[in-house]
Structure 1
């Protein structure tokens, strides 16, 4: 399957759609999930167009995981998270809903998680959580 440059994350990367950003550099963007499974649920995406982890060049994957770790530490510190679920779904059969590789960072335990993308989160609450995470970076 060819990369669809009209997917929601590609559009966020181009600035066509809004996102509550917590980190950005020339290779990676981290932002809050607007349909969170738990308070503080964040996403980290490479700017390299790739549908799944299997399509992402090794150098981009290596750099992205370093930022995933950095954001995870900021979530832990900024939100006093006791645990963080790291989730990466590759392919629709695995549950991937946006065809752009992305990593979920969910401050929680597996026993507390809600269903993915079940309902829209409170955007003002998400912004407050984002500021706490950014302050910890």
Structure 2
């Protein structure tokens, strides 16, 4: 299923021209228009799914192997010393386009990009959180 009003559906299916790194029948990998670093790409399914909660297992199962393949290429071909695999769900988590996509961001070891600031917790808080989540599973 595609959403005719979704820009990522249009990008993933070639309706809007973009620089494509990889493409198969299920995904298109394109370069991010506002890259966090040189070589930053997006893995975009060709079908429309708003976020991870809507993603079928079959499509989800293909994302990590593709991310591994791209990250390995980044280390070999463009000098990345590492890479982040980032996937946001919902506006509160930073999702700005409501079509599931995964960022592969090469890291070169000379930037100050921080994905989160480590916090603190205690055993009681962890226990309560774990119990709540187990009930929802």
Q: TM-score, normalised by structure 2?
A: 0.74
Runs of 4 or more above 2 Å deviation: 13-16, 109-115
Taking structure 1 as reference, are residues 112 and 18 closer, same or farther at Cα in structure 2, changes over 3 Å only? farther
Which residue number in structure 2 is paired with residue 88 of structure 1?
A: 87
Taking structure 1 as reference, are residues 114 and 12 closer, same or farther at Cα in structure 2, changes over 3 Å only? farther
Displacement, 1:110? 9.3
Q: TM-score, normalised by structure 1?
A: 0.74
> How do residues 1-137 of structure 1 correspond to structure 2 at under 5 angstroms?
4-108=3-107, 111-113=111-113
User: Which runs of 5 or more structure 1 residues have no equivalent in the other structure?
Assistant: 116-137
Taking structure 1 as reference, are residues 34 and 99 closer, same or farther at Cα in structure 2, changes over 3 Å only? same
Which residue number in structure 2 is paired with residue 127 of structure 1?
A: none
Contact 1:85 1:110 in 2 (8 A): no
Give aligned pairs, total. 113
Larger relative contact order (CA 8 Å, sep ≥ 6): 1
User: Which runs of 5 or more structure 2 residues have no equivalent in the other structure?
Assistant: 116-137
Structure of greater Rg: 2
Q: Deviations over 1:39-88 (max 9, x none)?
A: 11111112231010111001110012211111111111111110101110
SS at 1:86's partner residue? strand
Displacement, 1:13? 2.3
**2: distance between equivalents of 1:64 and 1:37?**
20
RMSD: 2.2
Q: Say which is worse superposed, 95-104 or 64-73, in terms of deviation.
A: 64-73
SS at 1:68's partner residue? helix
Contact 2:12 2:27 in 1 (8 A): no
